[in-house]
Amino acid sequence: MKLKKFQAESMPEALNQIRTELGSDAVILHTKEITAGGWFGFFAKKKLEVTAAVDPVSNVTPNPKVVAAAPEIKRAEVIKSPALVKQASQIERMNVPDIILHLDRELEKQDVHTKIRHELKEDLFGFWYSQDKEKRTPLAVYNFTKQWFKKRLQEVKIGSSLFDKKYMIFAVPQV
């Protein structure tokens, strides 16, 4: 299975990119809204990140006529449709292994931010399906999650290293 992430301004643009590169047999696995560009988080633009997959065994080539004739779907219409939202959540739950869902629920109980949980789920999903079936164990998921959090934690130095400078500037709000 060939996985690829696409970034686009809108869903129709992402669909066109997917059909052009992966063909009409491509399946959308995950979508999320991201911020791209900007300067220290300011002036960042919101974009869609869409993860799509296609089976490379089925030698399907993209058809330019189909891509050109693709119907324009307004993102607001998709979001407002409760039936589509319910169906998408059911599909997402069907594709995610039980151990990953259990881990996600436990992290939610511990008030881990939704964005972090989604990033972890996405990485766990890739990890799970990259392993052989006999290596897909709860212990493997636990170890992967432990390493995933270790990579994201940074060491904070406190002590004399903060006071090696000749000058220090303190800024406080004016009362």
Write the pLDDT tens digit of every residue in 75-103.
444 455 555 555 555 555 556 788 888 88
**Domain check: are 4 and 74 in the same one?**
yes
Return the pLDDT at 165.
63
Residue 20: CA atoms inside 13 Å, Cβ hemisphere, count?
Answer: 8
**Domain check: are 133 and 70 in the same one?**
no
Return the pLDDT at 89.
52
Return the pLDDT at 157.
58
**Domain check: are 27 and 62 in the same one?**
yes
User: Which structural domain, as residue segments, surrounds residue 115?
Assistant: 96-152
Q: Closest by alpha carbon to 103, among 137, 136, 138, 127?
A: 138
Cα distance between residue 136 and residue 125, in whole Å: 11
Q: Closest by alpha carbon to 32, among 119, 129, 94, 108?
A: 119
Return the pLDDT at 34.
82
Tell me, rounded to whole angstroms, the distance of Cα 89 from its chain centroid. 15
**Domain check: are 51 and 104 in the same one?**
no
DSSP state of 106: H
**Domain check: are 73 and 123 in the same one?**
no
Relative orientation angle of helices 114-130 and 138-152, to the nearest 10 degrees: 130
> What's the CA angle centered on 24, arms 22 and 25, to 5 degrees?
80
The residue among 56, 80, 104 that closes a domain is 80
The domain total for the chain is 2
Reading phi first (left if > 0) and then psi (alpha if -120 to 50, else beta), residue 46 is in beta
Return the pLDDT at 58.
55
Return the pLDDT at 156.
56
**Domain check: are 71 and 101 in the same one?**
no
Stretches where the chain sits below pLDDT 50 are 70, 75-78
